[in-house]
Amino acid sequence: MNTPNKHPFERFGPSCMLDGLQSLGLQPDGRLLALNSFENRVYLLWLDEPWFDAMGEPHDSLVLKAYRPGRWSLAQVLEEHRFAYDLAEAELPVAAPINLRESFAASDLAGDSLMWIDPVFVALWPRQGGRAPDMDRPEVLERMGRFIARLHGVGRRQAFHHRSGFRGLASAFDAIDQVAALRKLLPQACDRWLGTARACLNTAQKVIADLPAPKLLRIHGDMHWGNVLWTEAGPHFVDLDDCRMGPAISDLWPLLSGQGEELEAGLAILLQAYRSISDFDPMELHWIEVMRSMRLIEHTAWIANRYDDPAFPRAFPGFAEPDYWDRRMFELEQQLSVLRHAFDAGIPKGEIAYD
Whether residues 32 and 181 fall in one domain:
no
Instruction: Catalogue the long-range contacts made by 44-47 (C-beta closer than 8 Å, 24 or more residues apart).
Output: 44/127, 45/17, 45/18, 45/21
Where in the sequence is the domain holding 237, given as residue range(s)? 138-353
**Tell me, what's the pLDDT at 3?**
45
**Tell me, what's the pLDDT at 194?**
97
Residue 232's CATH number: 1.10.510.10
Whether residues 53 and 194 fall in one domain:
no
State the pLDDT confidence band at 167, using cuts at 50, 70 and 90: very high
User: Considering 92, 126, 160, which residue would you say is the last residue of a domain?
Assistant: 126
Catalytic site residue from 86, 222, 241, 251: 222
Q: What pTM was estimated for this model as a whole?
A: 0.92
**Number of domains making up the chain:** 2
Name the nearest CA neighbour of 312 among 325, 327, 299, 322. Answer: 299
Whether residues 213 and 303 fall in one domain:
yes
DSSP state of 70: T
**Tell me, what's the pLDDT at 6?**
61
19: annotated active-site residue: no
CB 124 within 8 A of CB 62: yes
Between 11-15, 131-135, 142-146, the lowest mean confidence (pLDDT) is in: 11-15
**Tell me, what's the pLDDT at 347?**
52
222: annotated active-site residue: yes
Catalytic site residue from 118, 177, 239, 355: 239
* Spatial strand order in the sheet of 109-110: 28-34, 41-52, 58-66, 120-126, 114-117, 109-110
**Tell me, what's the pLDDT at 163?**
96
**Tell me, what's the pLDDT at 23?**
87
Give residue-wise pLDDT tens across range 305-333: 999 898 899 899 999 899 999 999 999 99
